[in-house]
């Protein structure tokens, strides 16, 4: 079976959309990414890296026991290039009792949601989600995603009482982007263990297998979204439903895509209300601006 990929028409539509949105989304998602040795990988863009993740031979594999679903950390190698990746195969449905004590579906935990989350990040020009695609290894279908080298979890940083690393965007700004992204994809499983900080101070959003619940409302922490990077706001407003559907239909059910689009509309209304009440300069910011919010 070949890896699931958006159809050729979707790629053309995406290219046209990027031109309309200013052409910045592709550049923001094209690295640099690091290989096993911690040095930048020699790929020209996300397409080359995704192809490597889909096709490069697996030369080492290790089960990670600190996660509930026991994903595997892989080492891929081809033409002298070695890359670490994480391979997930989880596909579960969790149930809860209703008011009559009948078991009804609560949420799903699916590897393919990791790929869908990456596709959403690309549409919005968010470069904090590691590249991910689908692959079959040893007869198991799963998602394969770039491993972030030299990174620590936010839980580790807080336990050791370490300061945030310098060099990257302000931590508060990255958290605001994460909150918006989590509300858009309905990621109700965000915690300090799946927030990674690399050696440059960049925040990486990982572990999205429990996202995309067909729930049209925002998460309870949606009101915590107080600021938005200006180009992200522009892309969020301009995001076309047909573009979203063309990119996500290989990975999500129609009801899941419909719910995402409703959440997108609510996020737009939420930010429009903030702008109307406080003024654009108090809500929107450009990359490199220092936010007044605290970093922790």
pLDDT tens by residue, the chain, 296 residues: 334 444 344 444 444 444 444 433 333 467 789 999 999 999 999 999 999 999 999 999 999 988 778 999 999 999 999 999 999 999 998 767 767 777 666 779 999 999 999 999 999 999 999 999 999 999 999 999 999 999 999 999 999 999 999 877 899 999 999 999 999 999 999 999 999 999 999 999 999 999 999 999 999 888 899 999 999 999 999 999 999 999 999 999 999 999 999 999 999 999 999 999 999 999 999 986 655 444 44
The predicted pLDDT at position 15 comes to 44
* pLDDT for the residue 291: 57
Q: What pLDDT score does 17 carry? A: 45
**Prediction pTM value:** 0.87
**pLDDT for the residue numbered 67:** 72
* pLDDT of the residue at 229: 97
What angle is formed at CA 67 by the lines to CA 61 and CA 71, rounded to 5 degrees? 30
pLDDT of residue 6: 43
């Amino acid at each position: 079976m070949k890896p699931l990929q958006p159809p050729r028409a979707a790629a053309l539509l995406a290219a046209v959309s990027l031109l309309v949105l200013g052409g910045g989304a592709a550049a923001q998602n094209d690295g640099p990414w690091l290989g096993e040795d911690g040095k930048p990988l020699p790929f020209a863009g996300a397409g080359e890296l995704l192809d490597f993740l889909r096709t490069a031979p697996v030369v080492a594999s290790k089960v990670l026991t600190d996660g509930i679903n026991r994903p595997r950390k892989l080492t891929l190698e081809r033409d002298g290039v070695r890359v670490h990746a994480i391979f997930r195969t989880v596909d579960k449905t969790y149930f809860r009792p209703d008011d009559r004590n009948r078991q009804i579906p609560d949420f799903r935990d699916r590897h393919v949601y990791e790929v869908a989350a990456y596709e959403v990040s690309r549409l919005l020009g968010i470069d904090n989600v590691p590249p991910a695609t689908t692959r079959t290894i040893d007869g198991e279908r799963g998602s394969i995603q770039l491993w972030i080298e030299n990174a620590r979890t936010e839980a580790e940083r807080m336990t050791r009482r370490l300061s945030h690393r310098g060099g990257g965007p302000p931590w508060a700004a990255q958290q605001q982007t994460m909150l918006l992204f989590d509300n858009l994809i309905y990621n109700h499983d965000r915690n300090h263990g799946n927030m990674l900080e690399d050696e440059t101070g960049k925040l990486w959003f990982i572990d999205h297998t429990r996202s995309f619940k067909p729930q049209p409302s925002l998460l309870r922490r949606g009101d915590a979204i107080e600021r938005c990077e200006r180009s992200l706001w522009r892309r969020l407003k301009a995001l076309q439903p047909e573009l979203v559907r063309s990119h996500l239909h290989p990975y999500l059910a129609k009801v899941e895509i419909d719910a995402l689009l409703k959440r997108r509309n609510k996020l737009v209304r939420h930010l429009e209300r903030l702008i109307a009440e406080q003024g654009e300069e108090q809500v929107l910011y450009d990359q490199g601006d220092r936010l007044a919010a605290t970093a922790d």
